[in-house]
Amino acid sequence: MGHDPVPVPPVDPRALLDALPDPVVVVGPDATVRWASASARALFGWTDAELMGRTADHLIHPEDMVTALSSLASVQAKEVGSLIELRIRSRDGTYRRVEVRGSGATDRAGVGGIVMSMRDLGDRHLWQVDRGDADRFRAIIDASPTAVMVLDPGGLLLGASRAFTRLLGRPLDSSLGRPLTDMADTDSALILAAAIDGVVADGERRTLEARLSRADGTTLAVSLTLVDLVRDPAVGGIVVSATDITELDEARTELEHRATHDALTALPGRALLLDRLGHALALARRRSGRVAVAFGDVDSFKVINDHHGHAAGDEVLVEIARRLVALSRGSDTVARLGGDEFCLVVEDADDRVADLLRSRITEAMRRPIRLRSGADLRVGLSLGVVVVGGTVAVDEALARADVEMYEVKRARRGGPTHA
């Protein structure tokens, strides 16, 4: 007597995909995540709500974006795409290297996207782009604002993307075969040469900042990343990517200037003065020379502020700074230490230099200072000048000039008068 077959419950496709050990993700044509299997969520640590709607630039390592977008564009016209490797960001901020293959299913009911199957590669370090995607990949590289160059192990330029000419204004044909270091300024050339040698020696990636020279003689601040692909038969060289960081460099320079210079007069501040005085004393010590330090403050500066206002006081300080700079040499340092205090450091000095400084500064201050209000002020500057040897400490040199200034100040009491 036969037995009725045992009913087999239908397989739930979603449960089946969630049970797969390899992650599966559906990505829309706009590179947003539309669905992720349980293994995908487990591998990367994201919840379903956190993954949905996220775009590729939030999940894929920046250096792999060109590869990912190239593959995404090409797979939409294929039943099965090329096998590539990407670094995908986990919820904790780390990246996992995975092998990815896509299948175009944008027009398929119930899918509406590209099905991406993944395999966790752990510590494997391979990168592969199918030949059918090479032209598309090359076009994307050429359109990128980042210049991509290939050097031989000796640092000679073997090839470059179109951005090379856009950034540097140099025709590629005439640049091939030249050392990349020849296209950098002196300091950058030394750092770049060391980086190239290091990549060749140990195969480790190097990142550095440098200045490359343009065809018109100007320089461009760039961030360079060097990767060893000498043994890759498809490349056979060191791949260098160059990104323009002019705005970052200018912003950093501005911040450094603000940190070391007085905002009102644009003169070096105390920290920069101490540094330069230290260098001057060290040089004097090596040469058995001497350094002149002039320390001065404005006579009765409080009276100026009280009678004419703080804006007028600022005008006086700016004009004094201008006059001190005008009578100094390029190698001298004129600084504002705060308030109404100024300091002047002169290298290779002697007692005659000290006397000359006193007379020239005194003469410069004889001329009245014209305020925006139309008033003319005669302003005195009490000045102490000392000449010290290189064995004197920075603080002691300033202290001696300060004491000398107060001795002078006692001898010449008084404030500004109207001219």
Whole-angstrom distance, CA of residue 314 vs CA of residue 72? 62
Paired tokens of 268? 């070096």
Catalytic-labelled residue, pool 228, 262, 299, 340: 340
Q: How confident is the model at residue 122 (pLDDT cuts 50, 70, 90)?
A: low
Q: Give pLDDT, residue 13.
A: 61
Q: Return the beta strands (E) in 41-120 as ranges.
A: 84-89, 95-105, 113-120
Answer whether residue 128 shows pLDDT above 70: no
pLDDT band at 394 (very low <50, low <70, confident <90, very high): very high
pLDDT at 279: 92
- Which pLDDT does position 212 carry in this prediction? 92
Is position 340 annotated as part of the catalytic site? yes
* 383, 374 Cβ separation under 8 angstroms: no
Which helix (H) or strand (E) covers residue 213, if one does?
strand 206-213
Please tell me which residue, 345 or 203, carries the higher pLDDT value.
345
Give the tens place of pLDDT for each residue, 131-171.
445 455 555 556 666 788 889 999 999 888 888 888 888 88
Percentage of the chain with pLDDT > 70? 84
What is the mean pLDDT of the segment spanning 308-312?
89
Highest-scoring range by mean pLDDT, 114-128, 212-226, 258-272: 212-226
Burial per residue of 123-148, b for 16 or more beta-carbon CB atoms within 10 angstroms, e otherwise: eeeeeebeeebeeebeebbeebebbb
User: pLDDT tens, 75-95?
Assistant: 665 666 667 888 888 888 888
pLDDT digits (tens, 9 = 90+) for 319-342: 999 999 998 888 889 999 888 999
What is the C-alpha separation between 298 and 37, in angstroms, rounded? 75
263: burial class by Cβ within 10 Å (0-12, 13-18, 19+)? exposed
Residues 267, 321: contact at Cβ < 8 Å? Answer: yes
Q: Give the mean model confidence (pLDDT) for residues 63-68.
A: 77
Question: Could you tell me how many helices (H) and strands (E) the chain has, helices first?
Answer: 15, 17
- Give CA–CA dist 41/24, Å, rounded: 9
For residue 229, count CB atoms less than 10 angstroms from its CB and return exposed for 0-12, middle for 13-18, buried for 19 or more: middle
* pLDDT for position 59: 86
- Tens of pLDDT, residues 273-282: 999 999 999 9
pLDDT at residue 127, rounded to an integer: 37
Interacting residues of 363 by C-beta distance below 8 A, sequence separation 6+: none
Mean pLDDT of the chain: 82
